[in-house]
């Protein structure tokens, strides 16, 4: 007999909303492990319509720890470890700066800026030497994730610049994002966010995401590196266009 899922739900969340979010977590992890990117933005987009704004970024961060940690675990032997130390230091600095600010960056401009940067990096040439900028990438992406949430696209540009095989790309990106979301969650805890009423929901989302990871890994094993690169570039561009469109809509709505 299944446990009473109502005990997992934060106050005010319906069973229907909970089910939709679990399905979104499964689909997001499937997409990310199969194609290297996209799940964090998908999860954030769905949660943004169903989760209270004050809880959105903190809970999304904890869920992404579980999701990325699961991917890193099942692809552990493929992680490119030299990318992590400087990125981790940069993430601590970026989260510290972001968490110390009393006001957030205008989300519309953040969306447009990240989307434009990623499209330029995919269709043109990434900034010269970006593969040697792990500290800078860690600072910028962790600063932005305190306000915006899903900066996996930004980190993916750095991971992509390493020119890794598909399994190594997925594993390394998962490890980098685990570090970043872990640091972000600690920062929100220090800032006073009350995670306690959300733990049941978060654990259920992580479990659904891990099932998606196992399913997506089967598809990853069937792709060749050339097809993987094309799929990754297509997903990056589509997600970036969505970010730019969402940002422009916000700006137009405010005029």
**Helix, strand, coil share (%) of the chain residues, nearest 5:** 80, 0, 20
Q: Is the pLDDT of residue 154 over 80?
A: no
User: Would 7 be classed as within a structural domain?
Assistant: no
User: Would 191 be classed as within a structural domain?
Assistant: yes
Q: Using an 8 Å Cβ cutoff, are 241 and 115 in contact?
A: yes
CA 209/CA 24 separation, integer angstroms:
8
pLDDT number for residue 2:
40
Average pLDDT of span 57-76? 87
User: Would 120 be classed as within a structural domain?
Assistant: yes
Query: Percentage of residues in the chain with pLDDT exceeding 90?
Result: 15
- Tally Cβ neighbours within 10 Å of residue 76: 11
Q: Is the pLDDT of residue 109 over 50?
A: yes
User: Would 75 be classed as within a structural domain?
Assistant: yes
Sign of the four-CA dihedral 36, 38, 41, 45: negative
User: Would 2 be classed as within a structural domain?
Assistant: no
Radius of gyration of the chain measured on its C-alpha atoms: 17
Count of domains forming the chain: 1
Q: Is the pLDDT of residue 59 over 80?
A: yes
b or e along 159-191 (b: 16 or more beta carbons within 10 Å of the residue's beta carbon)?
A: bbbbebebbbbbbbbbbbbbbbbbbbbebbeee
1: pLDDT confidence band, cut at 50, 70 and 90?
A: very low
176: pLDDT confidence band, cut at 50, 70 and 90?
A: very high
CA 164/CA 119 separation, integer angstroms:
20
User: Would 1 be classed as within a structural domain?
Assistant: no
pTM of the model: 0.74
For the CA atoms of 16, 153, 29, 143, the dihedral, rounded to the nearest 10 degrees, stands at -70
Query: Where in the sequence is the domain holding 55, given as residue range(s)?
Result: 12-253
Averaged pLDDT of the chain = 81
Pairwise pLDDT comparison (11 vs 47), residue with the higher score? 47
pLDDT tens digits, residue range 193-239?
778 788 888 899 999 988 988 888 888 777 777 777 787 778 778 87
102: pLDDT confidence band, cut at 50, 70 and 90?
A: very low
129: pLDDT confidence band, cut at 50, 70 and 90?
A: low
User: Would 3 be classed as within a structural domain?
Assistant: no
């Amino acid at each position: 007999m299944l446990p009473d899922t109502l005990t997992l739900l934060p106050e005010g969340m319906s069973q229907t909303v909970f089910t939709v979010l679990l399905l979104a977590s499964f689909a997001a992890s499937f997409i990310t492990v199969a194609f290297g990117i996209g799940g964090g933005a998908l999860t954030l987009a769905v949660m943004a319509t169903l989760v209270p704004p004050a809880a959105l970024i903190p809970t999304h961060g904890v869920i992404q720890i579980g999701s990325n940690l699961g991917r890193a675990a099942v692809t552990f032997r493929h992680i490119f470890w030299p990318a992590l130390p400087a990125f981790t230091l940069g993430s601590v600095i970026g989260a510290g700066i972001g968490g110390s600010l009393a006001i957030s960056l205008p989300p519309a401009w953040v969306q447009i800026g990240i989307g434009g940067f990623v499209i330029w990096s995919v269709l043109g040439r990434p900034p010269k030497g970006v593969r040697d900028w792990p500290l800078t990438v860690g600072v910028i992406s962790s600063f932005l994730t305190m306000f915006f949430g899903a900066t996996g696209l930004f980190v993916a540009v750095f991971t992509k610049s390493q020119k890794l095989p598909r399994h190594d790309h997925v594993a390394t990106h998962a490890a980098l994002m685990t570090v970043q979301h872990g640091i972000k969650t600690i920062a929100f805890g220090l800032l006073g966010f009350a995670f306690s009423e959300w733990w049941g929901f978060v654990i259920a989302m992580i479990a659904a995401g891990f099932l998606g990871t196992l399913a997506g890994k089967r598809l990853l094993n069937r792709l060749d590196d050339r097809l993987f690169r094309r799929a990754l570039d297509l997903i990056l561009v589509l997600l970036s266009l969505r970010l730019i469109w969402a940002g422009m809509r916000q700006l137009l709505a405010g005029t």
